[in-house]
Structure 1
Amino acid sequence: MSTETSQAMPLIPQFDELQKSFLETPYLPIDKRLVLLKKLRVRIVELEQELVDAASKDFGYRTAFDTLLGDILPTVQTLAHIIKKLPKWAKPSNRSVGLSLWPSKVSVNYQPKGVVGIIAPWNYPIQLALVPVLTAIAAGNRVMLKLSEFTPHTNAVIEKIFKDDLQAHCKIILGASDVAAQFSSLPFAHLLFTGSTNVGKLVMASASRNLTPVTLELGGKSPVIITQNADIKKAAQALLFGKMANAGQICVAPDYVFVPKELEHQLIQQLCELYKKHFKDGVEGKNLTSIISDAHYKRLATYLEQAQELGANIIKPLEQNQQDEEKHRMGLHLVTQVTDEMQLMQDELFGPILPIMSYEKLDSAIDYIKAHHHPLALYILGQDKHAQEYIMKQTISGTVAINDTLVQVTADDAPFGGVGHSGMGHYHGIEGFLTFSHAKNTLVSGSFNPRIVMLLKQSKLIIKLLKWLYIK
């Protein structure tokens, strides 16, 4: 299917076609779902190099490392986990009925919801598109997938993945924001959106008109707290990886850092030394991914200019090769003496800029985090277990990683999702299967059922029995 054809197709007929297919087979057998998932795995693996090349074209330049580690490997890894666990996940869950419903039996059956809508972002255009699609198909649904207009080359390869017979299970939708608006207004059985908080609000408002349940994977400003007596070199290593992977264009990238005042200078020194070691060629290096577009590059440059005008100190680890406006490439920029009036402390950065703030008391860092919206990720760097536990109990975040960054989202058997302004709902693992399934309460009574006769008679005996059991 060509890009032009996909954009020209109206959305409602495609939705109706999937809806008809679902109604004809509302419960796709587990073995057939597994066949579909295995076929998808084969196609993803076959198209690996095409996906790497396409993503690089879309970004202007993207390292193969970023596409393989952040997009393709997590997708294939998740798919293997789903294939292994699906038969167990799909089994009915037997529940206790209690004496009041004896001799009936109660179970929860997991039923496909119908046609699921998924709106994917540009920053990880493979993983963040395919993982929810694979999970929704595993749950027995049909899917409409809206891809980002910023990644046309990657989109073309994803269309190849769902060619021929797989189009009956997932239809690819292309187009800009106007198409996305139409998409979110369709009467889906469930809608998953990954993107910014502001757009997430619009998606949720649109979906509410059809009472469509939504899962919102948003973002926000994910903080880092470095604890007292932390190994600063190890902390800097974790920070540098978290900030420079995909050039910081990750919803769970470290957004700002709190460091003990006496360790601030060491942290900056270590970050600069590590950057010079691993990114010595700066924006000329082959290990640095570009910013996705000229507009996003200018947004980041404006943050730095405005912060400097308001008194911030900008630290560049390299004297040259730090920025390339023409190719929209940017190296690491450390920012100190920041204040909340600066735009870079208000917006999610989504780039290789790292504000650093010092603290004298741990509670002051925690209070700052609590005074702002709940983040999608919280990072704690340091070996003080008491401080780790204290920070986790005092703060609310979608995910937490201790002495690591980013990789918590790749845990196959754990849920991923935000809270408040960083999102709602979960997917990944069994939580993803449950998100895209209707948990149907099912009560089964046999031919022997004295309870119903007693209820019809409004028996005093059954009331006395129930009060004796439950009201004491």
Structure 2
Amino acid sequence: MTATPDVDAAETGTIRNPATGAVAGTVRWTDPTDVPRIATGLRAAQRDWEARGAKGRAKVLARYAVWLGEHRDEIEELLIKETGKSAVDAAQEVPLLIMIASYYIKTMEKALAPESRPASLPFLSIKKVTVHYRPRPVVGIIAPWNYPVANLLMDGIAALAAGCAVLLKPSERTPLTAELLLRGWLDSGAPEVMAIVQGAREAVEAVVDNSDYIQFTGSSATGAKVMERAARRLTPVSLELGGKDPMIVLEDADVDLAAHAAVWGAMFNAGQTCVSVERVYVLDAIYQQFVDAVVRAVEDLKMGAGDGYDVGAQIDQSQVAVTERHVEDAKAKGARALTGGERPAGEGSFYPPTVLVDVDHSMMCMTEETFGPTLPIMKVSSVEEAVRLANDSPYGLSASVFSKDVERGKAVALQLDCGAVNVNDVISNLMCTTAPMGGWKTSGIGARFGGADGLRKFCRQEAVVAPRTSVGAGGNYYNQSQKALKRMNTMMTKMALIRPRREAR
């Protein structure tokens, strides 16, 4: 999202807790003209970092994972201060990073090892072909505010494991935890291959201009601008962008499971999750039963920041305004709010968990990314209608399907136009580091995670072709006889046609 943050426009900014307005801390903004110098320092340090090899880097990452675990309480306390999250929401981020680090520590040596490739034709077996994965020197990571810890480093850990240096640009709304994470990297004895650039638009531009690869997470509109700027230097990008993730509940679903999943998937982090459940399509046979179960679950939620609460604050008043606008638009067009539906009085950027029914695709709550604690539920008459409506969106990040028949659920999943589908669960694909997480359509380009691909995306492939023997070397050089050249051409033509002729029979 791109709303104006509650940050003082000065060299040193004051960050305020969106739940209380209290000062969470201060940060010194980076002068964008300093970014080339910072990037140059990272490139110098990266050469030694790459030279350590996968085993050497794994030891450093293991120490950092231990530091994250030991300082989890400190990180989460600061996280709550600068985001207004509930304690339940804040508790998810550090464990996710430790899980990702643990996975790559165990797999990085094999994933990054040189690969031998077979000869494409028998006469080329005199050559030994090896593909090496060489890290890009500086990876720029531009992260959003909704998960200041996880989104900043879930790709950063992979880039570091690959042998890259990382240039982090946290959101100007949530810059404080980034400073703490950098301190932990250095305190754990790691080399200076991690640096932070603090600031807004000009800082983003400087990071794009001085990186060798860009990992961006944020809105589709901003992602397009990042990609456009990166194209000036032909810098490759990976973009994880907005979503309007649908849930489909079939008539044979476990209604209680689906209802609780919908509520958690929609309200977690106050709905400020790119893969949150933003719209639900329920078969008419169980529609009312599902709605009743959802309302009961939502009514049990407690709104507030920190310990003892389920749903925290939104990041600022401008984000609350988006949620409010979508709800008011829906009500004006005939929808009903069964819970919430009104901005509460008092301080803090809160909006109550809101269940909307009698909704359709004429309403913004069903077609535009809300990024707030709303759950619009639409009745449908058939699976085909549910699939059609789910796909009727410019977004395609993830989705979920609920059915007691898992094979049926999987069949429906493969009809949905998105990068990931959870059957009988929501958001769980984020934990599956062996699977790619990427969006279709305007939800992004490329993917994070994906097993070995989650490391190799930060590398350049270098093919090394070496001789196994000196026999046949130079057979097609200009200084060879015409007879030798003719003989070589004849052999190459015959050998190249053997397999196509076999396959054509």
With the length of structure 2 as denominator, give the TM-score of the two structures.
0.86
* Structural mapping, 1:236-385, within 5 Å: 236-277=259-300, 279=301, 281-283=302-304, 286-316=309-339, 323-324=344-345, 326-385=347-406
**How many angstroms does 1:196 deviate by?**
0.7
| Distance in 1 separating the partners of 2:254 and 2:497 | 62
* Structural mapping, 1:161-172, within 5 Å: 161-163=184-186, 166=190, 168-172=192-196
Closer, same or farther: CA 386–130 of 1 in aligned 2, 3 Å:
closer
Query: Which of 408, 414, 437 is equivalent to 2:459?
Result: 437
Moved more, 153-162 or 259-268: 153-162
* Structural mapping, 1:51-200, within 5 Å: 51-60=75-84, 62-69=85-92, 71-97=93-119, 98-163=121-186, 166=190, 168-186=192-210, 188-200=211-223
**How many angstroms does 1:336 deviate by?**
1.8
| Distance in 1 separating the partners of 2:445 and 2:252 | 35
| Distance in 2 separating the partners of 1:387 and 1:228 | 12
Query: Which of 24, 28, 31 is equivalent to 2:55?
Result: 31
**How many angstroms does 1:266 deviate by?**
1.1
Query: Which of 481, 485, 492 is equivalent to 1:463?
Result: 492
Q: Does residue 15 of structure 1 match 2:42?
A: no
| Distance in 2 separating the partners of 1:283 and 1:43 | 29
CA deviations 1:233-274 (Å, max 9, x no partner) are 111011111112111111100110000123221111101112
Gaps (5+ residues) in structure 1?
none
Closer, same or farther: CA 76–23 of 1 in aligned 2, 3 Å:
closer
RMSD: 2.4
AA at the equivalent of 1:422: S
Residue of structure 2 in register with 1:203 after alignment: 226
**How many angstroms does 1:464 deviate by?**
5.1
**How many angstroms does 1:166 deviate by?**
4.1
| Distance in 2 separating the partners of 1:446 and 1:386 | 50
Task: Classify the secondary structure of the residue corresponding to 1:340.
Answer: coil
| Distance in 2 separating the partners of 1:180 and 1:26 | 26
Identical positions, percent: 26
Closer, same or farther: CA 471–329 of 1 in aligned 2, 3 Å:
closer
**How many angstroms does 1:344 deviate by?**
2.0
| Distance in 1 separating the partners of 2:456 and 2:104 | 12
AA at the equivalent of 1:352: P
Moved more, 375-384 or 200-209: 375-384
| Distance in 2 separating the partners of 1:360 and 1:464 | 60
Moved more, 92-101 or 17-26: 17-26
| Distance in 2 separating the partners of 1:323 and 1:362 | 37
- The answer to whether the 8 A contact 2:145-2:171 is kept is yes
AA at the equivalent of 1:78: I
CA deviations 1:263-286 (Å, max 9, x no partner) are 221111101112233x1x445962
**How many angstroms does 1:106 deviate by?**
1.4
- The answer to whether the 8 A contact 2:152-2:178 is kept is no
Task: Classify the secondary structure of the residue corresponding to 2:28.
Answer: helix
**How many angstroms does 1:153 deviate by?**
3.0
With the length of structure 1 as denominator, give the TM-score of the two structures.
0.92
Gaps (5+ residues) in structure 2?
1-11, 13-25
Task: Classify the secondary structure of the residue corresponding to 1:395.
Answer: coil
**How many angstroms does 1:7 deviate by?**
5.1
Name the one with the larger helix percent: 1
- The answer to whether the 8 A contact 1:50-1:157 is kept is no
| Distance in 2 separating the partners of 1:454 and 1:182 | 49
CA deviations 1:184-212 (Å, max 9, x no partner) are 233x2211000111100000001000101
Moved more, 170-179 or 378-387: 378-387
| Distance in 2 separating the partners of 1:138 and 1:230 | 41
Residue of structure 1 in register with 2:250 after alignment: 227
Query: Which of 408, 412, 420 is equivalent to 2:441?
Result: 420
- The answer to whether the 8 A contact 1:57-1:153 is kept is no
